């Protein structure tokens, strides 16, 4: 995962301010009003995350690394705490943290495509951008909540949104991938009872601002992440070397 120093650099650029306590809060999960999860429950959840291919760090007292990205109730608990203490700049940090942490996972997932296909810089940047936009998470639901929640068939609506996005991706997505993403979104939606709160408009506005800023600086962000993440090079050295070459990343 990107370091807190990287998070701070880009938070200052995108949000105008960085809050180290927000990065720590996201990485360990929300501070509950009273701890309701037993150690056994937290460990079980952590192990489920590993089985699903998630990179997670456990904190016995508080939760699982970045778990609020896939859990609406946790995300809203975090958002309310952050907003009360740091306003929209804090929400910007919260959302940016989740997006930055997702980029290394996207790069790993795209490694085979990157190695096998000829791509120019525009194609590669668009592939990463679209993959981030289609990430199945609470942030996806925030962006499309009105469409999905207001639909008589939310699962069909989610698939339609993802299919329309996929048309812009070089190489497109398989039908199974679209279905899997849709299923994850629907499962997350089932925990979204609090997404109708007064905070939703602020969250939607902030999410759009963060995503557009990431798109503007995407090349530099990806190069920054690769330069400080030896784990990425070890996992897919050929693919990451090709990404660095296509994007013309400078050596650290």
pLDDT at 204: 92
Give the largest Cα separation in the chain, rounded: 53
Selected residue with higher pLDDT from 108 and 177: 108
Lowest mean pLDDT among 85-94, 153-162, 168-177: 168-177
pLDDT over 60 (residue 228): yes
Q: Please give the average per-residue pLDDT across 205-230, as a whole number.
A: 92
pLDDT over 90 (residue 10): yes
CB 95 within 8 A of CB 210: yes
The top-scoring range by mean pLDDT among 91-100, 109-118, 186-195 is: 91-100
pLDDT at 240: 85
pLDDT at 56: 38
pLDDT over 90 (residue 100): yes
- Nearest-angstrom CA–CA distance, 97 and 210: 10
Instruction: Share the mean pLDDT of the chain.
Output: 79
pLDDT at 196: 58
Q: Which residue bears the tokens 């469409």?
A: 147
Structure confidence by residue, pLDDT tens digits, 14-73: 999 999 999 888 887 654 444 444 434 543 544 454 444 343 343 334 444 567 888 888
What is the pLDDT confidence band of residue 234, given thresholds at 50, 70 and 90? low
């Amino acid at each position: 995962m990107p370091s807190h120093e990287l998070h701070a650099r880009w938070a200052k650029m995108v949000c105008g301010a960085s809050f180290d306590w927000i990065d720590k809060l996201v990485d360990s999960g929300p501070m509950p009003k009273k701890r309701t999860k037993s150690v056994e429950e937290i460990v079980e959840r952590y192990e489920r995350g590993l089985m699903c291919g998630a990179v997670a760090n456990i904190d016995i007292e508080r939760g699982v690394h970045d778990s609020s990205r896939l859990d609406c109730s946790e995300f809203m608990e975090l958002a309310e705490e952050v907003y009360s203490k740091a306003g929209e700049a804090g929400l910007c940090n919260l959302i940016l943290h989740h997006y930055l942490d997702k980029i290394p996972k996207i790069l790993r997932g795209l490694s085979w495509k990157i190695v096998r296909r000829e791509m120019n810089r525009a194609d590669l940047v668009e592939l990463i951008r679209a993959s981030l936009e289609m990430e199945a998470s609470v942030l996806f639901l925030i962006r499309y909540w009105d469409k999905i929640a207001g639909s008589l068939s939310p699962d069909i609506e989610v698939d339609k949104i993802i299919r329309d996005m996929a048309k812009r991706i070089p190489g497109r997505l398989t039908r199974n991938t679209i279905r899997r993403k849709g299923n994850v979104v629907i499962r997350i939606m089932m925990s979204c009872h609090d997404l109708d709160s007064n905070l939703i408009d602020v969250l939607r506005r902030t999410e759009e601002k963060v995503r557009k800023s990431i798109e503007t600086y995407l090349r530099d962000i990806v190069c920054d992440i690769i330069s400080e993440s030896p784990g990425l090079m070890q996992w897919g050295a050929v693919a990451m070397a090709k990404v660095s070459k296509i994007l013309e990343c400078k050596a650290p």
